[in-house]
Chains A and B, each alone.
Chain A
Amino acid sequence: MVIGGGISGIQAALDIANSGYEVVLVERLPSIGGHMAQLSETFPTLDCSQCILTPRTVEVGHHEKIKLVTYSEVEEVRSQGDDLRVKVRRKPAYVDWERCTGCGLCQEKCPWRVTSDFERGIGERKVIYTLSPQAVPNKPVIDREHCVYFQKGGKCGACAKFCPVEAIDFQQKEEIWEEQVGAIVVATGYDLYPMERLSEYDGGHHPDVIDSLQFERLLSASGPTAGEIRRPSDGAVPKEVVFVQCAGSRDPERGVAYCSQICCMYTAKQALLYKHKVHEGQAYVFYIDIRAGGKGYEEFVQRAMEEERVLYLRGKVSKIFPQNSKVMVWGADTLSGKRVEIAADLVILATAILPSQGAWDLKEKLGIKIDESGFYEEAHPQVRPIESGVPGIYLAGAGQGPKDIPEAVAQGSAAAAKVLALFASEV
């Protein structure tokens, strides 16, 4: 069983399934892809994230050895001999996915719009929805909390009226069942540190102070602005954009002590993409150290500085606050020793990477350890980075510590190798 359908879990599932073993892939959301599905383009090659991801999600969806269980969570785990018995709970989608053809008519006809979590609150979705047009599986769920049918006692029901195959099932109940598996790969990924907790950065009050995943959605061709850079407050094209790195990272007092590892690179990418779209705009990046440690990364950051004229300022931002129609950014330039003030149109906070919310619960259920920051703890940091210490349970991706896509992919494969060796030894 692979828990988590982000890129790391997908890779683990595919490598195990392609070796002839059966995999149950459990995903909390209605469809797989994880955070990678939210990203615009990827550093350092600027490949479109969705485009390189979709073939993988489709392969998972079609794979005869992979049982894809989405909109579901692990309820309970107990070991029985060499096996693990995992109780899985599936939330009611209020749509019969067996009947649903994924035609999308229900979403078109649903008259109600709400803020979308997938769009990180800066875009909308219907009350019956899929995460994206390329969702795998491409089946919708009804958001019960906002659905007029549920909240106003049977009114509306537009989706049911228009569904050509009668797949809407308002009576659907949650399902709980048990899977018997020989190994578990934990790939539950990350969340971002909430902006609300960064009070000196305006605590997420101002609409034009956004976090980096929100900016990814703004950059994304499939996002709420169809890839145009428009600031949330009034839709204007921002001319002065400030990127604040280490917003909560490397800051034990206000956030977390650790470094989030990926922000330097995605910020360079975001600044570069912004400049591609708004040529006359000015991008500023506040940083402590530029941590460009991967293959081609250093060269990529140099490109952002030299070719795209992104202005890097070494220093922390002390305060962000609204003034007139702008957002004032107060910071320091430690190289010139001077104070810097910028009247920005848009501010992007590279907030810290946190372990995903369910990690704490899951570690209890699995009996694995987490470290002081809440990430899963590996058996040995150097030579056993994939093993949890509990036999048969392996770690992959950002649940173990912040990491970028290639590292998450490599860990997914490495976890698969452990599972394959385990299964081979049992035959």
Chain B
Amino acid sequence: MRKVGVFVCHCGRNIAGTVDVERVTEALRSYPGVAYSIDYLYMCSDPGQDLIKEAIAKRDLDGVVVAACSPAMHEITFRRTVAAAGLNPYLCEVANIREQCSWVHRDDMERATLKAIQIIGTIVEKVHHDEPLVPLAVPIARRALIIGGGIAGLQAASDIAAAGYAVILVEREERLGGRMAQLSGTYLNFDSTADLLSEKVEVVTRNPHITVLTRAQVEAVGGYLGDFKVKVRQQGNDKEYEVGAIVVATGYDLYPKERLSEYGGERYPDVIDGLEFERMLSPTGPTAGEVRCPSDGRVPQEVVFVQCAGSRDPERGVSYCSKICCMYTAKQAMMYKMQVPQGQAYIFYIDIRALGKGYEEFTQRAMEEHRVLYLRGKVSKVFPQDGKMMVWGADTLSGKRVEVAADLVVLATPMVPNADAFGLAQKLRVATDEYGFFSEAHPKLRPVESLTAGVYLAGACQAPKDIPEAVTQGGAAAAKVLSLFSQEKITHDPIVAAVDSELCAGCGICVEVCPYEAREIHPLTKVAVVKEVLCQGCGACLVACPNKASHLRNFAPAQIMAMIEALEGG
């Protein structure tokens, strides 16, 4: 039996205001298997930590329970403390008597005190059953794979390479640049996207640390954080690369306008989408930058822009907002008016979402300086009549129906994930949301990490975003890769599954259920083995095993039962 020390924290008045800490300390002193107990005002303070270190040395403790706040707060702190005193850090556990006790029972000191004693008792039992563990260390291949050579991928590649690490940039198309290469100019300042982009491409292609693979695709991904093995197919040839981290920057497609039959998207040449209009506006496009009706090449005098053509419309398209359409439509309408000053541009919208620095002012300019006519309402129907495209819509502000006989209709169709994204997500074992966009680890605080360790996200593959946001995310993903590469080795939490080979029948059910491919049946011994660096400790295998041959280290069934019994006894 271990000699366990219990350290009860007052957390100022946070705990001591509700829980009688002295009584708790006293009660634990006579608890079976507890060799020592003491309370202190702030256990996480330096004197508090010294108290723990001293007790380990003087009382020869080989297990520590700190009764304090949530382990999410200070488990690392106290594990470091006991490690400094020479004890295995996994023999230190935190009993949460603040969030789970004192804070929620402020009106009942007696019961809160009894509950605190019970909570600590269970954790004492846990420590008695804990194994000393050592974090798993994995070497890192200091080379990054970027999937997608659009602006987000280019930014990630150049930032990683600028810090001196090797990058492999895989691009499906023949050239780098992605969607940005198709655009005419940027909003706000009408800068040439081609010029802005060629600077970035130049930086990437010139950097000796970056290997650019165009007309290439990721075929298969194996391995794990620090040691991925990625098979890339380039023009029929497969080659395997070892990389330590992966940045996904596969960008977007547009929702096919053909599916919007009430807008005539599938039938009429003069109904085009936002990217087709960009090509028309672009000096390198099919009309050398001149706006012409695709049907007969005439200069359109009445142009209708339809926003939310499939966005914010769960019935006919997608329910989300595509975020960038309000701004590029304002830009497109302005560029049209600059080219055809006597022409009229109409924009049908639901809300004008000018979300960015200077964006509001920009849409105001479209309205006021360029006399673009904004109509608040949805378009119900687009159909041909007398050589024109009739647009039926509503103006919800006047409450009237609006009919425009247009020469050209531009549909701002929704951004959807790239067609290859779903297959890639499966290869990478990365989650996607209901629309197929890659899921970030946390919407607020971990926007460029996926939940799969070592796989990061940048740009529109995660959700619709514009150029500055994609650039920012590319840079942010690079920072994550750089932090990773600066480590000597990757340490991996040793709270992973283990197999009792005596009990394992080699049925393989656990191999099937493991979401991380962290299990296999050993070819010789025919029992299940755990690939510890892949295991995330989720516990699916424990539940699935018919023989109860699997357990999670330091959460073994006997351990949990002992903890529950402590509750019943207490």
Contact = CB atoms under 8 A, between A and B. Distances in A.
Interface of A: 7, 11, 15, 18-20, 42, 44-45, 47, 52, 54-56, 58, 62, 101-105, 108, 133, 138, 164, 250, 257-259, 261, 289-299, 302, 334-335, 337, 371, 375, 380-386, 400-402, 405-407, 409-418, 420-421, 423-425
Interface in B350-368: 351-361, 364
11 contacts: A19-B483, A58-B74, A133-B12, A133-B14, A289-B353, A298-B321, A375-B357, A409-B447, A410-B472, A413-B480, A425-B164
B356 A298 contact: no
B12 A383 contact: no
Given A386-B475, A409-B445, 7 more contacts: A18-B486, A62-B77, A102-B45, A291-B355, A297-B321, A383-B199, A406-B444
Interface in B474-514: 474-480, 482-483, 486
A264 to B, nearest CB: 9
B188 A45 contact: no
A289 B472 contact: no
A415 B471 CA distance: 11
A15 B443 contact: no
B14 A298 contact: no
B482 A19 contact: yes
Contacts of A409: 444-447, 476
Contacts of B479: 15, 19, 413-414, 416-417, 420
Given A294-B323, A295-B463, A47 B444 contact: yes
B153 to A, nearest CB: 14
Contact of A258 (B361, B443, B471): B361
Given A52-B442, A385-B471, A386-B475, A420 B482 contact: yes
A45 B443 contact: yes
A175 B191 CA distance: 48
A261 B471 contact: no
A302 B396 CA distance: 19
A414 B351 contact: no
Contacts of A55: 72-73
A349 to B, nearest CB: 18
A400 B472 contact: no
Interface centre among B189, B354, B474, by most chain A C-beta atoms within 10 angstroms, is B354
Given A102-B42, A295-B462, A383-B151, A421 B159 contact: yes
Interface in B176-217: 186, 188-189, 191, 196, 199-200
A291 B164 contact: no
A101 B356 contact: no
Nearest to B462: A295
B41 interface: yes
B447 A406 contact: yes
A346 to B, nearest CB: 26
Given A18-B486, A108-B13, A417-B159, A52 B358 contact: no
Contacts of A410: 447-448, 469, 472-473, 476
B467 A289 contact: no
A54 B352 contact: no
B354 A19 contact: no
B399 interface: yes
A327 B188 CA distance: 40
B76 interface: yes
A15 B483 contact: yes
B73 A258 contact: no
Contacts of B483: 15, 18-19, 420
B478 A417 contact: yes
Contacts of A337: 399
Contacts of B478: 414, 417, 421
Nearest to B466: A382
Contacts of B477: 413
A337 B395 CA distance: 12
A413 B474 CA distance: 10
A412 B399 CA distance: 46
A406 to B, nearest CB: 4
B186 A56 contact: no
B355 A261 contact: yes
A421 B163 contact: yes
Nearest to A246: B360
Contacts of B312: 298
Contact of B73 (A11, A54, A371, A385): A54
Interface in B447-477: 447-448, 462-463, 467-469, 471-477
Contact of A44 (B10, B162, B361, B443): B443
A292 B353 contact: yes
Of A302, A384, A413, most buried by chain B (CB within 10 Å of CB) is A413
B472 A411 contact: yes
B224 interface: no
Contacts of A290: 351
Contacts of A420: 163, 479, 482-483, 486
A126 B267 CA distance: 72
B320 interface: yes
Contacts of A294: 323, 463
B524 interface: no
Given A386-B475, A413-B480, A417-B476, A257 B361 contact: yes
B357 A414 contact: no
A384 B155 CA distance: 10
A43 to B, nearest CB: 9
Contacts of B443: 44-45, 295-296, 406
**A-B interface, 8 closest residue pairs, ranked by CB to CB distance from nearest:** A414-B475, A413-B476, A104-B12, A401-B357, A421-B162, A295-B463, A289-B351, A417-B479
A62 B46 CA distance: 12
Contacts of A138: 42
A328 B435 CA distance: 44
Contacts of B353: 289, 291-293
B47 interface: yes
A412 to B, nearest CB: 8
Contacts of B186: 381-382
A37 B249 CA distance: 32
B397 interface: yes
A105 B12 contact: yes
A250 B361 CA distance: 9
Contacts of A105: 12
Contacts of A415: 475
B437 interface: yes
A291 B351 contact: yes
Contacts of A259: 354-355, 359-360
B319 interface: yes
Contacts of A257: 360-361, 364
